[in-house]
Each structure stands twice: as structure tokens, then as C-alpha cells.
């Protein structure tokens, strides 16, 4: 058995969760609160780029799809929300040579060949998003060949169903208050540029959230790399009375020493890190420095399931939980198969008023019911590809 065809697609503009950088969307953004509400971000310090993501996002944050087919007609795919046409180009002109003619079960060798070959120009960002897409497509393919769900390829069910927390925004959070999620994570609207007013408003936001969801619901804050050390510590000091579970990614990637110091300063609030780290070596540095409490690799960016599994094993040695960042069927299979991945994230999309599918490019996406997800036993990731909204990479507009 061998891989005989590698097909690449971009995703039609204007479809749910797939509009990409031109619409100011990243990851699963599908309009609504993700683009209309105020959200602190790495560009918030610049007034002209603060309010609109369309003003600074680039096509590297567009989605893409990779589809693999064998000589026996089996097909696996991944719909990745980062990398766009650049990731397609890397796969098409470079990684393709390691895939065509390869046995799809040789995941480790294929992964290593892709990774080693991109060392001179990659190691982060686009090249790793491309590797992640291929890796996830391989596992989807293997699951379909063996008639097994992907979680069975990594040890089977570690739980009957997956508890979820919900990520939303203060402007629309009331719609998720009765959906059974164990926790709520809020996109932070303010950062250092807002001074003391930003500190005060953040505290008021958390107080309102706790009053709405109740004291039994965990509250978390996603700072999306928009804060600095001082703002993070001062926010944490104000939030001590509210029993906040964690603050997520307040600093830029690679801030190992700073995260170690902040983690100590904000205790017992936990530090969640890893959204924009790539490859197990970066996570080894975080873990070795004691820089995080909740480790959050992005499966569709960090290197796929192959790399996330390595990171999970390192976390186990440190006694730390791993909770993949973002919401996707890929994350759900990972969480199901790993005992130190105790829960998953669900991200509201569009206007944030209902629990609904995140991707239009994926058909059959599992959804939380009463705050939990029950994965079936369909082969692969158990979802299908919606070809109606795909455009072959390199085709004319």
C-alpha cells in the first residue's frame, strides 16, 4: 500500500469559520463577536491596528485542506485553520516528495523527513502548520484503512465523554450560561495600553462572569499575547478574590524566563501556555523551566498528533495536564486518548448565541451536549469533507 495522490485546497471565502485574514479572522473565526467585539491582541499597542483584525492579519492565517489517497482508494484529510496558500505551497513543492509512494503507516518516518527537510527555512509557523495538516491527514487515513477511530490508535478511550469549557466574549457570554460547560474562558478586551482602566474593567468583567455563571463554574482569561509582565501580575492581584482558574498566553511565544517568574507571582491562579509554540523542543524548554501549569499546544500548528503525543508524554513526567488549544475534532480525539488531557475547549462562533458547528469545511463535526462531547466509533476522525466550498490549490479564481 502506498500514497498515490496528494490534493490541496483553499477554502471558499465567506463560509463559516473559514473566511481567513481578509475578514480579520484567525483559527475558527466566523464573524460575529470574534471580529466585531473588542479583543486584546499582539497589535493592540498600535492605535491604528487595535480595533480591526483585518488591518493587520495576513494570509498565513487562512485555512487550507490536505487530502491523501492510496493506491487502494482509501482517503484521509485534514482541514487546517492556519497556513493558507503558503502551507499548500510548502506541501506541494516540498513535502509531496516524502508522501507520494510512502506507506501511510510510516508516520514517524514521514514526519521526521518533513521536519528535517524544513530546518533551513522553517521550524515554526507556516512550515509546521503544513506538517501538522499532513500528519493529521495521515492519522485520518490510517483510521479509515484499519476501520478504527483515531483515538483507538493512541490507546483508546480514557473517559466515557469529554467535559468541555467554552470560550466566548463578555458581550455574548450570557448565551452559554445554561449550556452545561464546566468553565468559561473570556477573550480579554483590554491590555497594557488601557492602563488602570484596563485593570479595573478586567476585574469588573470577571465579577460579572462569576455572577452570571455561578461560583461552581471555572473562569479563565485568554490574553492572546497582548499583555506584558506588569499588567499580568497586576491583573492577577485584583482577581485573587474571584478564584480564577488560569490566565492564558499573556506574553509573546518564547518568553520562558518571564513565564516562570509570572507563574510564581500570580499563584494560585495558574499559567496556561503554549498556543503559539511549535515542536516538542519549545515545550521541553517551558516544562524544564517550570514556566506553565496548563500546557496548550495547538494540534493543527505544533506538529500534529505525532508531536502533541510527545508533548503529552513530557507533561506526564512533570505531573502537568495538557489541554489542546482551540476546538476541533482533532483535539477531541487527542483528549479522549490521553489520561493527562482532562478536558477540551469549545469555541463559540458567529454571534455566539448557540452551540453550533465551527467548520463548514467539515461535515459531521461532534458538538458538546450539556457541556460534554461523546465521540462515536466511526473510522478516522469520523467526519467528512465538504468539497462544495473547496477550491483546488493553484486553480484560477
Examine the pLDDT at 292 and tell me if it is beyond 70.
Answer: yes
Confidence of residue 374 (pLDDT cuts 50, 70, 90): very high
* Average pLDDT of span 369-394: 95
Segment among 24-38, 47-61, 288-302 with least mean pLDDT: 24-38
Confidence of residue 25 (pLDDT cuts 50, 70, 90): very low
Q: Give residue 20's pLDDT.
A: 52
Confidence of residue 201 (pLDDT cuts 50, 70, 90): very high
Q: Which CATH class is domain 3-147+385-392?
A: alpha beta
> Which tens digit of pLDDT belongs to each residue from 309-350?
999 999 999 999 999 999 899 999 999 999 999 999 999 988
Query: Residues with Cβ < 8 Å from 116, sequence gap 6 or more?
Result: none
Question: Could you say which of 94, 169, 284, 325 is catalytic?
Answer: 325
Measure Cα distances from 105 to 70, 109, 138, 176, 258 in Å. 11, 9, 8, 41, 41
* Average pLDDT of span 164-171: 96
Q: What is the DSSP letter of 214?
A: -
Contact 237, 267 (CB under 8 A): no
H helix or E strand, kind and range, residue 69: strand 64-70
Q: Alpha helix locations (H) across the chain?
A: 33-36, 84-90, 96-99, 107-117, 125-146, 150-153, 195-213, 229-239, 256-266, 280-289, 299-302, 304-318, 329-337
Examine the pLDDT at 14 and tell me if it is beyond 80.
Answer: no
* Average pLDDT of span 118-123: 94
DSSP codes of every residue in 119-180: TTT-SSHHHHHHHHHHHHHHHHHHHHHHT-BHHHHTTS-SSSSEEEEEEE-TTTGGGGTTS-
Task: Confirm whether 284 is a catalytic residue.
Answer: no
Mean confidence (pLDDT) of the chain: 92
> Would you call 347 helix, strand, or coil by DSSP?
strand
Q: Give residue 349's pLDDT.
A: 86
Confidence of residue 13 (pLDDT cuts 50, 70, 90): low
* Average pLDDT of span 98-116: 98
* Average pLDDT of span 143-156: 97
> Which tens digit of pLDDT belongs to each residue from 353-368?
899 988 889 999 999 9
Confidence of residue 84 (pLDDT cuts 50, 70, 90): very high
Q: Give residue 18's pLDDT.
A: 45
One CATH from 3.40.50.300, 3.30.230.70, 3.90.25.10, 3.20.20.120 for 152-380: 3.20.20.120
Contact 297, 287 (CB under 8 A): no
Segment among 73-77, 144-148, 347-351, 384-388 with least mean pLDDT: 347-351
* Average pLDDT of span 224-231: 96
Examine the pLDDT at 26 and tell me if it is beyond 80.
Answer: no
360 vs 147, more confident: 147
Q: Give residue 396's pLDDT.
A: 54
Domain boundaries, given as residue ranges, for the chain: 3-147+385-392, 152-380
Query: Residues with Cβ < 8 Å from 60, sequence gap 6 or more?
Result: 21, 82, 83, 84, 86, 125, 126, 129
The alpha-carbon radius of gyration of the chain (Å, integer) is 20
Amino acid at each position: 500500500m502506498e500514497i498515490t495522490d496528494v490534493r490541496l485546497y483553499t477554502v471558499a471565502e465567506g463560509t463559516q469559520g473559514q473566511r481567513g485574514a481578509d475578514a480579520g479572522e484567525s483559527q475558527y473565526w466566523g464573524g460575529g463577536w470574534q471580529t466585531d467585539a473588542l479583543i486584546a491582541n499582539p497589535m493592540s499597542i498600535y492605535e491604528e491596528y487595535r480595533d480591526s483584525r483585518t488591518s493587520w492579519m495576513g494570509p498565513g492565517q487562512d485555512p487550507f485542506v490536505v487530502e491523501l489517497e492510496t493506491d487502494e482508494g482509501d482517503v484521509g484529510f485534514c482541514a487546517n485553520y492556519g497556513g493558507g496558500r503558503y502551507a499548500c505551497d510548502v506541501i506541494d513543492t516540498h513535502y509531496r516528495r516524502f508522501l507520494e509512494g510512502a506507506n501511510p503507516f510510516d508516520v514517524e518516518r514521514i514526519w521526521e523527513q518533513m521536519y528535517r527537510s524544513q530546518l533551513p527555512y522553517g521550524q515554526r509557523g507556516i512550515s509546521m502548520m503544513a506538517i501538522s495538516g499532513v500528519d493529521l491527514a495521515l492519522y485520518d487515513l490510517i483510521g479509515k484503512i484499519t476501520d478504527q477511530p483515531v483515538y483507538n490508535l493512541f490507546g483508546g478511550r480514557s473517559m466515557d465523554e469529554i467535559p468541555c469549557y467554552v470560550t466566548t466574549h463578555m458581550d455574548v457570554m450570557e448565551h452559554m450560561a445554561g449550556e452545561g460547560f464546566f468553565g468559561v474562558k473570556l477573550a480579554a478586551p483590554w491590555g497594557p495600553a488601557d492602563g488602570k482602566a484596563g485593570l479595573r474593567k478586567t476585574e469588573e468583567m470577571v465579577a460579572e462572569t462569576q455572577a452570571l455563571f455561578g461560583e461552581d463554574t471555572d473562569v479563565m482569561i485568554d490574553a492572546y499575547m497582548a499583555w506584558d509582565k506588569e499588567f499580568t501580575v497586576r491583573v492577577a492581584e485584583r482577581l485573587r478574590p474571584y478564584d480564577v482558574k488560569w490566565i492564558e498566553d499573556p506574553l509573546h511565544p518564547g518568553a520562558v524566563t518571564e513565564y516562570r517568574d509570572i507563574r510564581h507571582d500570580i499563584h494560585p491562579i495558574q499559567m496556561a501556555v503554549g498556543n503559539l509554540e511549535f515542536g516538542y523542543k519549545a515545550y521541553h524548554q517551558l516544562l524544564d523551566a517550570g514556566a506553565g501549569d496548563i500546557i496548550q499546544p495547538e494540534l493543527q500548528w505544533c506538529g500534529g498528533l505525532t508531536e502533541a503525543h510527545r508533548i503529552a508524554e513530557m507533561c506526564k513526567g512533570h505531573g502537568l495536564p495538557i489541554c489542546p488549544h482551540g476546538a476541533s475534532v482533532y483535539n477531541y480525539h487527542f483528549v479522549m486518548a490521553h489520561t493527562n488531557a482532562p478536558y477540551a475547549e469549545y469555541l463559540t462562533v458567529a454571534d455566539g448565541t448557540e452551540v453550533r458547528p465551527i467548520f463548514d469545511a467539515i461535515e459531521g463535526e461532534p458538538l458538546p451536549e450539556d457541556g460534554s462531547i461523546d465521540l462515536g466509533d466511526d473510522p478516522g476522525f469520523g467526519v467528512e469533507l465538504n468539497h462544495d466550498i473547496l477550491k483546488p490549490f493553484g486553480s484560477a479564481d
